[in-house]
């Protein structure tokens, strides 16, 4: 029953919930870069949203650091394999100039020649990753005004692509809006996340010392994609409980309504503030590149909080009027959240919070509800 506050009925979606994005698509997301997409219109809302996300003013400091950093600073701590780790110099005191913004925009345009996107069977709908392609070690294989590193291949989920193609096909009156909103948004965030890795590879991938992504100033993890998600949304968005079967006694039957019928979407959309202990442990158990300093690793919080995002909260991201604002507020609200613990492999189980723990997590504006959810005062 502890899940019940998460699964309270969603308010009905407006007829325009799927939005009206028509903004320019960044060249990096051009159709020919998606090697096995048959129907580009199925991913078009996602690439338009990903284009908006990458252009958001809040990401400029991060993108400028990647593109215009001076000499990187070696850390005292090394990788377990003995390779050095680096951090970017702190340039946050420098004013963001029009020249800086033009340079960032040019680099995002030039990135088009550095990547292909490939939908692959072995990735689940929540998984995407970037592989650096090194043909001749430390030789550049493409050079533009702003970039001269290595190309990348972004892998994402064929299942996700097929779900989107299927749900986009019927006439608009039959479209499954909750499903489309969640999976279009998920793909957009995945694409924006991976493009940040592509940018780092395209900028510095050929450097001899490039064994791991550099740390941003004061960042706990060296993972540019999650740094982007934290900056934009206040955490990493994800679907919770999407795989549970409705006939399982313990299952969370979290279906959503779609025009009076049940949606095919199963699960609750949440975001995890970064660094998320269970995600860090999952990455490290799978030996994926995600570097942390030992002291920070030891200081990881024992519990993670999943904050609920309603489906109607997602709808604003597909609305042209939202992006017409000077600095659209992309940070998710924190009203209902649940705590989870995780084992060494990052497998989560639900947990409560004691009053003391709530204070440790410095969520002073929140109290613990009867069902152990954290709810706003």
The burial of 313, by beta-carbon neighbours within 10 Å (0-12 exposed, 13-18 middle, 19 or more buried), is given as: middle
Phi and psi at 77, nearest 5°, equal -80, 145
Distance CA 120, CA 156 (A): 6
Distance CA 194, CA 150 (A): 14
Q: Is the preceding peptide bond at 275 cis, omega within 30 degrees of 0? A: yes
> Minimum distance between the CB of residue 197 and Zn ion, rounded to whole angstroms?
6
- Among residues 225 and 267, whose Cβ is nearest to Zn ion? 225
User: Do residues 134 and 110 touch, judged by C-beta distance below 8 A?
Assistant: no
> Minimum distance between the CB of residue 57 and Zn ion, rounded to whole angstroms?
22
- Among residues 45 and 225, whose Cβ is nearest to Zn ion? 225
Phi and psi at 30, nearest 5°, equal -60, 155
Q: State the residue number with the nearest CB to Zn ion.
A: 225
Which stretches of the chain bind Zn ion, using CB under 5 A? 225
- Among residues 46 and 236, whose Cβ is nearest to Zn ion? 236
- Among residues 13 and 195, whose Cβ is nearest to Zn ion? 195
> Minimum distance between the CB of residue 264 and Zn ion, rounded to whole angstroms?
28
Distance CA 111, CA 292 (A): 28
> Minimum distance between the CB of residue 194 and Zn ion, rounded to whole angstroms?
7
> Minimum distance between the CB of residue 288 and Zn ion, rounded to whole angstroms?
8
User: Do residues 77 and 87 touch, judged by C-beta distance below 8 A?
Assistant: no
- Among residues 42 and 119, whose Cβ is nearest to Zn ion? 119
- Among residues 18 and 292, whose Cβ is nearest to Zn ion? 292
> Minimum distance between the CB of residue 231 and Zn ion, rounded to whole angstroms?
14
> Minimum distance between the CB of residue 366 and Zn ion, rounded to whole angstroms?
29
Q: Helix 177-204 and helix 158-168: axis angle, to 10°?
A: 140
Block residue for tokens 């340039």: 91
Q: What are the Cα distances from residue 154, in Å, to 119, 139, 222, 341? A: 8, 21, 19, 31
- Among residues 225 and 337, whose Cβ is nearest to Zn ion? 225
């Amino acid at each position: 029953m502890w899940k019940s506050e998460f699964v309270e009925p969603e308010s009905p979606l407006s007829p325009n919930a799927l939005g009206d994005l028509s903004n320019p698509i960044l060249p990096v997301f051009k159709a020919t870069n998606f090697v096995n997409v048959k129907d580009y219109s199925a991913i078009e809302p996602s690439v338009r949203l990903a284009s908006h996300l990458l252009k958001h003013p809040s990401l400029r400091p991060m993108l400028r650091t990647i593109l215009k950093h001076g000499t990187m600073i070696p850390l005292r701590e090394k990788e377990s394999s003995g390779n050095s780790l680096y951090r970017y110099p702190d340039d946050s005191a420098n004013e963001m100039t029009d020249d800086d913004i033009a340079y960032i925009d040019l680099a995002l345009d030039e990135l088009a020649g550095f990547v292909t996107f490939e939908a692959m069977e072995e990735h689940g709908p929540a998984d995407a990753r970037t592989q650096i392609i090194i043909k001749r070690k430390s030789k550049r294989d493409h050079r533009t005004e702003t970039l001269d590193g290595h190309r990348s291949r972004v892998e994402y989920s064929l299942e996700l692509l097929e779900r989107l193609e299927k749900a986009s096909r019927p006439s608009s009156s039959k479209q499954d809006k909750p499903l489309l909103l969640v999976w279009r948004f998920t793909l957009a965030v995945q694409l924006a996340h991976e493009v940040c890795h592509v940018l780092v590879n395209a900028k510095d991938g050929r450097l001899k010392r490039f064994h791991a992504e550099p740390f941003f100033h004061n960042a706990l993890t060296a993972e540019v994609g999650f740094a982007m998600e934290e900056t934009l949304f206040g955490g990493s968005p994800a679907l919770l409980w999407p795989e549970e079967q409705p006939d399982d006694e313990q299952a969370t039957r979290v279906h959503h309504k779609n025009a009076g019928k049940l949606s095919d979407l199963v699960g609750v959309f949440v975001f995890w503030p970064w660094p998320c202990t269970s995600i860090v442990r999952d990455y490290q158990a799978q030996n994926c590149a995600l570097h942390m300093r030992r002291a920070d690793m030891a200081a990881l919080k024992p519990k993670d909080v999943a904050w609920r995002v309603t489906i109607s909260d997602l709808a604003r991201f597909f609305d042209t009027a939202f992006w017409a604002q000077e600095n659209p507020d992309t940070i998710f609200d924190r009203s209902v959240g649940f705590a989870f613990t995780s084992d060494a492999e990052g497998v989560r189980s639900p947990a409560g919070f004691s009053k003391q723990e709530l204070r440790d997590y410095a969520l002073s504006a929140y109290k613990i509800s009867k069902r152990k959810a954290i709810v706003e005062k």
